[in-house]
Structure 1
């Protein structure tokens, strides 16, 4: 998903090729701190490929070189007003520098660059030497750790061994165990895996996923036309391998960000390509070697000896001088810099000609398609169609093909409860729709210079950054049902100042996502009714404020506002509470500014006594539903995320065709004012049916009365099941009354002539359930 806005003159939104007037900007640096390695990987481009310059360079970087490097990086960031740059410590194996040497490097970088801009520090390692001492050091200096792992032991040991042939796999797994520990989890950046068609793709995928990585990089092994990759059996083995992983990843619900797939999807949708492997975005990266030499990307070492070298050094040349050289400039040329074969290809905007180094051929240089061209084209054909089918905001029926239900899932919902897999599919479709709505809000932010407008724009930028690095954290916040309500409200006709305040809520969504991700960020939050709102997390009460926004900081250590950390004991902080509900917990949200729905009258913050009553009753209701209506309980467990307490009194009704219940939220009156279990079932049936209607129209759109009848009948189907299994004369009476009304409504719907084919099938499913009751 591309969160970005269309660029406006005078505002730097991103670094893209232009007419040549803009200065070349560098936003990422690879700093080689040690030039040897403790493994002997036979696919390593540094030691095993064409460039052998490592033999001529110092083993370890010197202190003076580090200081010059930090100076040049800070100069460039200050001169061009860059808000953030990334520095990756690399090698060889960077951990060979040792804790003391790494501390010196990190201290210099933090002291020189932090005062100028935000510094994203990382280290990429084979993991063999990672221990608690180094983890504590990286925690101290906020360094995120990426680790190379090629899959399970058999796959990893095919290439990644010690020089004496020993396996590196157990050493790497010990490192990953460290990074998964609670105190170091925020340091874990992800895994890098080099593809080998000889390995089982699903076994590799499952082994990587078992390490709980925040993200995965699947890399094609470096090769050129002079030294092409092995193709056992011919064809497109790399696309076939990656295609199998993609299919499994998609069927799993995309549990982790995989940069290659995300890059293709983003590039196809007109967004950033997220890296240099695919897409047409410029490469804004430079390498600093242990001798201080400026170099281009390391991947060029696979082309020929000396390919990445520039002849310039940090002691004598600033970043601008290096970035302006023909070599780096060629990698910022976009479509125009590609060969004719690539420029005329139908998938060029997705693959971007592939990695620059993979285009090399003696005699024609880099003016060639990628040596992986057939694989990239085949893989794009597998990955991108899902993106092309995704509905644009407001696309209507034509866009509904992006998410579909299998006939079995559809029928399970029609019969009443719905299988958990069917409910999960509805939730995934709802998340996709919410993402599209939020992106649409972001694309239409106003250009005003006020505090609220700036908060909205900074929130959008932060949300995009979190989504690139920790998409699961963004998904967690977007899946909160109130987010869809907020986005829909923003897209309705504006209401002057209140509309601008609503748009600025985007900053609160972004801050919540960053907190979930444990990422460091600063963002101004809008003050609404004297409080700062962080969706799904809580509200910070400030009281009367002169300003319209308050700048806050977030990190893995929590939220910081007004110069101090906000803790659970802070009397200003009101957290969103959660309650046990069967085998899971649900939020009880009495704080979100967008928790209202048509027909709902949300209550205010519950007192401690009232909250205790809610918590006790919800836990009891969950247990009763698990015992008496297990199928409905399982469906609730798969889709219910939040309960919104309502004020006493009857609901005001729901207009068919109006804003729908987002799946995942139910509104409930206070315990003691009616059957909580029956109310839960009723509201969740409404939410499921509304979500299903987004995918499949069930009633002709002009038929408001039948649509209302269908909703009420579907809700009664669940309530009748509850009373059917409840002992006692009163329950039997209730069941008989509801059963009769359901049969009457089903007959009326069938005879109405307003049902679509999907609607007719759905009503037939309800009839089958109601008919089965007669035989019991």
Structure 2
């Protein structure tokens, strides 16, 4: 359904009109690629989605009090005036990511599906901050009141002002414009106390660095937090965009059409960037301060893939909701629902495509890792019964694109590292999240104790939640560090946990090729304290030595671990136990 752009009041709606996506952009989207035309189609659909969301909010809040702010209808009257003066700028503002996040959050507050510590009138009153931004952009004279949060009034897409004398967390302040002079809570725009949103600029792209808007975090509101590293974001963005435009100009043009804001977050541990996006906030990327331009470019690609698929799923149904099934996600520590896996494979297809063009040892590692892991995840959900025909087509298209890449030549040491990281994550994940049948565990333990043949049980995995004590990517981070800077080895050997959170000496021994030392230390850890990562590490060390027990430890570690515990742990030799399953173990999946 499309809303009549000439009458932006949410009650003024045309008869339903379906959006149409041309065949070529539609096929591009299903295949994981996406040119500017496809993004334009998605933006048009998101405009309707956004206006329908706003209409739903106004309808739901029609009888709710908004004092000390004006009524919501007064805000829409101002929006109408602004739209009539400059429809292009107002339309662009309505598509600004935080407008969608706010409207979705406020609607959930009204409906009671989420709670918050702010008064409801503050959340509803954000409409007046949005319409004030629209009026400023359109050059319309006006006078209204907007919410004060934690001493700030923020106008989406423009900036914010610290309100002099504001008391308490919540309040209201006047916002006005007269003959081009804008005042926000008594602060002159572009004067002392006004903090503008900064921009990230590169040839062919210009987007906002939003560290002020209360809804920039994609969920509940949060106070403004101007970052000190804006200059570094700016420099890395320019270089990252240059990489993307050089390697994949079509994707760069598409992203320039679709992305509108980067939300900065504090820098995380090297090689462990944090990023996020939301279906409510098309065009936004939340990103921790990047390690370098290549990582920043990959993050932009990753989150833009999420943006595209989220918008695509506002138009088309890829899977039926409901169902308890959870699946292995090679990029997560936790089991994921079907919808999360679809988002993940789509995003990591884009990441794989980006790194396929990179030539550095670290870039080769990322390509080799994600081409295999994404294909594994696709195979894991291709038979999910809740997929629609369109969802299956999406999986088939991505699989067809990824499969030929599996045989492409990659720097040998990067390929070896990627294979180790993939096997490690899968084994560690299974050890945490796959629950063996207790009767089968007892049966196997008894057979082992009586020196009879021990068999692995067959059947579907039972997946359960779990809380890893450390990230399942710890050894992968060690591998990345050594590929990027072999000089890190001395510091890693001296104090691995100080360099990579959660790392231990046996992990360093493993990733540096000292399989014998790694094996001894993992065996000791298993006898003294156990732990899923130790069993996976032992499997990797045994594989490096060519030991036949490695296979079962890398494909069914949860069962060997459970039988070991049933036998009393400690004194039971983990390698001898794993070897008893070796003749019956499957090939690595």
User: Which TM bucket (shorter chain)?
Assistant: 0.5 to 0.7
Confirm whether residue 713 of structure 1 aligns to residue 333 of structure 2: no
Greater mean deviation of Cα atoms: 730-739 or 580-589: 730-739
User: Deviations 1:418-451 (Å, cap 9, x if unpaired)?
Assistant: 1111111111111211111122223344556764
Structure 1 position 669, deviation (Å): 0.7
CA separation of 1:2 and 1:443: change in aligned 2, threshold 3 A: farther
Please, which of 51, 59, 79 is the counterpart of residue 435 of structure 1? 51
CA separation of 1:651 and 1:484: change in aligned 2, threshold 3 A: farther
Confirm whether residue 466 of structure 1 aligns to residue 86 of structure 2: no
Is contact 2:204-2:253 (8 Å) kept?
Answer: no
Match in the other structure for 2:246: 627
Structure 1 position 728, deviation (Å): 3.1
Match in the other structure for 1:753: 385
Higher alpha-carbon Rg: 1
Match in the other structure for 1:131: none
Match in the other structure for 2:30: 414
CA separation of 1:630 and 1:653: change in aligned 2, threshold 3 A: closer
Structure 1 position 557, deviation (Å): 1.1
SS in structure 1 opposite 2:383? Answer: helix
Confirm whether residue 520 of structure 1 aligns to residue 141 of structure 2: yes
User: Deviations 1:396-433 (Å, cap 9, x if unpaired)?
Assistant: xxxxxx22322321210122231111111111111211
Is contact 1:404-1:695 (8 Å) kept?
Answer: no
Distance between the aligned counterparts of 1:653 and 1:561, measured in 2?
A: 32
Match in the other structure for 1:677: 297
Match in the other structure for 1:531: 152
| Structure-1-length-normalised TM-score | 0.46
Within a 5 Å distance, the mapping from 1:55-94 to structure 2 comes to none
Q: How well do the aligned residues superpose, as a CA RMSD in angstroms? A: 3.2
Distance between the aligned counterparts of 1:437 and 1:765, measured in 2?
A: 32
CA separation of 1:599 and 1:561: change in aligned 2, threshold 3 A: closer
Match in the other structure for 1:399: none
Within a 5 Å distance, the mapping from 1:174-573 to structure 2 comes to 262=6, 271=12, 387-390=14-17, 402-445=18-61, 447=63, 451-454=67-70, 456-494=72-110, 495=116, 497-545=118-166, 548-555=171-178, 557-561=180-184, 566-568=188-190, 570-573=191-194
Distance between the aligned counterparts of 1:525 and 1:599, measured in 2?
A: 18
Distance between the aligned counterparts of 1:492 and 1:589, measured in 2?
A: 23
CA separation of 1:528 and 1:762: change in aligned 2, threshold 3 A: same
SS in structure 2 opposite 1:636? Answer: helix
Match in the other structure for 1:576: 197
Q: Structure 1: which 5+ residue stretches go unaligned?
A: 4-253, 272-383, 391-401
Is contact 1:723-1:731 (8 Å) kept?
Answer: yes
Is contact 1:539-1:591 (8 Å) kept?
Answer: yes
Match in the other structure for 1:698: 318
User: Deviations 1:164-194 (Å, cap 9, x if unpaired)?
Assistant: xxxxxxxxxxxxxxxxxxxxxxxxxxxxxxx
Is contact 2:262-2:287 (8 Å) kept?
Answer: yes
User: Deviations 1:563-616 (Å, cap 9, x if unpaired)?
Assistant: 67x242x22000011111341200010000111125999982112xx1111110
Distance between the aligned counterparts of 1:561 and 1:720, measured in 2?
A: 46
SS in structure 1 opposite 2:81? Answer: helix
SS in structure 1 opposite 2:218? Answer: coil
User: Deviations 1:665-720 (Å, cap 9, x if unpaired)?
Assistant: 11111122781111111111111111111111112212562222221111111111
Is contact 1:600-1:646 (8 Å) kept?
Answer: no
How many residues are matched? 385
Match in the other structure for 2:307: 687
CA separation of 1:506 and 1:435: change in aligned 2, threshold 3 A: same
Distance between the aligned counterparts of 1:654 and 1:591, measured in 2?
A: 17
Is contact 2:47-2:94 (8 Å) kept?
Answer: yes
Distance between the aligned counterparts of 2:34 and 2:300, measured in 1?
A: 15
Distance between the aligned counterparts of 1:549 and 1:270, measured in 2?
A: 26
Distance between the aligned counterparts of 1:455 and 1:730, measured in 2?
A: 56
Is contact 1:661-1:687 (8 Å) kept?
Answer: no
Structure 1 position 734, deviation (Å): 2.3
CA separation of 1:578 and 1:556: change in aligned 2, threshold 3 A: farther
Distance between the aligned counterparts of 2:72 and 2:285, measured in 1?
A: 28
Is contact 2:199-2:209 (8 Å) kept?
Answer: yes
Structure 1 position 724, deviation (Å): 1.2
Is contact 2:382-2:392 (8 Å) kept?
Answer: yes
CA separation of 1:761 and 1:555: change in aligned 2, threshold 3 A: farther
